[in-house]
């Protein structure tokens, strides 16, 4: 028996960082990552399920079909229990074992350890949420596969391979049976989705969908989102500020009007004529061959020229250099690299 913890769930900004890195990563060269900073960012579909406020729990089965129970940080037993979780699982052992064997059989697992993770919740396990006071229950939300193959990392099964695992008559439920939230996130402009994420979170916070399904009304904790990009699972959570025990920083609302103004200004200001003028001023007039090594000088000229020439337009739209400079640089860099790739003599 070995304790295998459930992976920590990060915040939206962590997923933005990770997917940006994955999109830009080209490979390794002498131990250093080679990055394409001009890579197109993807749009990724995420599936969100209600995050319940309870205690993380799991039931594990190794390759020899031995079973044990887990809390978040340690193996639990009837003698050393966590809010009655091990006692409950032992009383439902045959049912849970059947679920684990079914997962092993359908996925042809031979040497893997399988862990069904869920939230041990209800009763008096946590306070201040809709499910508090309901009969204690085990709400399945993930299945982890622990491999003994050095060439393969541990991973989580996609939900369609375990969403059938449940036994409501034994107070074993599946989070996929309750209201969920599907969103597409464009990682070229991830800030665009933040207000939608907040809207969904506030909806769950006002009325927990899981609690409502059990006939009780009250606060929900938040939502966990899972998406896949380049065969990698990306997960983040969004919690509301009404949930008193939450330590996760609240996602900030985005000024959509300002975001649209920035887009419109960049499209207006970063023109073909201005970019060609930058080539002339930075390189041609100085008898310098344009190369990627000169990208910094090229971008500085463009940004400075726009700031100088368009200060009145920026002021009218309540925009400051800190609002637009990175966007101006991004569009200009993309154009510059495309030009270097396309034109003979430009490298």
- CATH code of the region 12-239: 3.30.470.30
What is the rounded distance in angstroms from the CA atom of residue 27 to the CA atom of residue 44?
22
Nearest to 157 by CA among 170, 171, 140, 172: 140
Helix then strand count (H, E) for the chain reads 10, 13
pTM: 0.76
> 173-205: per-residue pLDDT in tens?
999 999 999 999 999 989 889 999 999 999 999
- pLDDT at residue number 252: 59
- pLDDT at residue number 253: 62
What is the rounded distance in angstroms from the CA atom of residue 347 to the CA atom of residue 340?
5
Task: Give SS3 for 140.
Answer: strand
- pLDDT at residue number 245: 39
- pLDDT at residue number 314: 85
> 76-90: per-residue pLDDT in tens?
999 999 989 999 999
Pairing of strands 232-239, 155-156: unpaired
Nearest to 163 by CA among 174, 147, 153: 174
**270 in Cβ contact with 332 (< 8 Å):** yes
Listed as ranges, residues in the chain with pLDDT below 70 are 151, 241-256, 344-347
What is the rounded distance in angstroms from the CA atom of residue 92 to the CA atom of residue 168?
12
- pLDDT at residue number 248: 41
- pLDDT at residue number 214: 93
> 267-307: per-residue pLDDT in tens?
988 999 899 999 999 999 889 989 989 999 999 999 999 99
Task: Give SS3 for 278.
Answer: helix
């Amino acid at each position: 028996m070995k304790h295998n913890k459930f992976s920590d769930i990060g915040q939206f900004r962590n997923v933005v960082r990770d997917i940006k890195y994955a999109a830009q990563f080209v490979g390794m060269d002498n131990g250093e990552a080679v990055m394409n900073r001009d890579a197109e960012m993807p749009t990724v579909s995420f599936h969100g399920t209600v995050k319940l406020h309870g205690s993380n729990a799991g039931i594990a089965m190794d390759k020899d079909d031995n079973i044990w129970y887990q809390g978040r940080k340690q193996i639990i037993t009837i003698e050393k229990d966590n809010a009655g979780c091990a006692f409950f699982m032992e009383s439902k052992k045959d049912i849970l074992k059947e679920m684990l064997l079914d997962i092993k059989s359908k996925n042809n697992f031979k040497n893997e350890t399988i862990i069904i993770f869920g939230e041990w919740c209800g009763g008096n396990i946590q306070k201040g949420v809709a499910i508090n006071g309901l009969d204690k229950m085990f709400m399945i939300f993930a299945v982890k596969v622990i491999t003994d193959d050095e060439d393969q990392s541990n991973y989580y099964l996609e939900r369609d391979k375990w969403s059938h695992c449940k036994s409501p008559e034994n107070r074993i439920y599946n989070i996929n049976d309750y209201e969920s939230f599907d969103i597409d996130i464009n990682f070229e402009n991830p800030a665009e989705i933040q207000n939608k994420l907040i809207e969904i979170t506030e909806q769950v916070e006002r009325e927990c969908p899981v609690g409502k399904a059990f006939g009780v009304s009250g606060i929900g904790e938040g939502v966990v989102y899972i998406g896949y990009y380049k065969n990698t699972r990306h997960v983040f959570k969004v919690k509301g500020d009404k949930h008193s025990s939450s330590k996760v920083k609240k996602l900030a609302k985005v000024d959509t009007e300002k975001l649209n103004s920035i887009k419109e200004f960049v499209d207006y200001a970063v023109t073909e004529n201005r970019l060609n003028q930058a080539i002339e001023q930075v390189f041609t007039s100085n008898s310098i061959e344009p190369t990627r090594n000169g990208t910094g000088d090229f971008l500085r000229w463009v940004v400075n020229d726009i700031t100088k020439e368009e200060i009145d337009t920026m002021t009218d739209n309540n925009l400051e250099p800190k609002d637009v400079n990175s966007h101006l640089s991004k569009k200009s860099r993309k154009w510059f690299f495309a030009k270097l790739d396309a034109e003979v003599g430009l490298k």
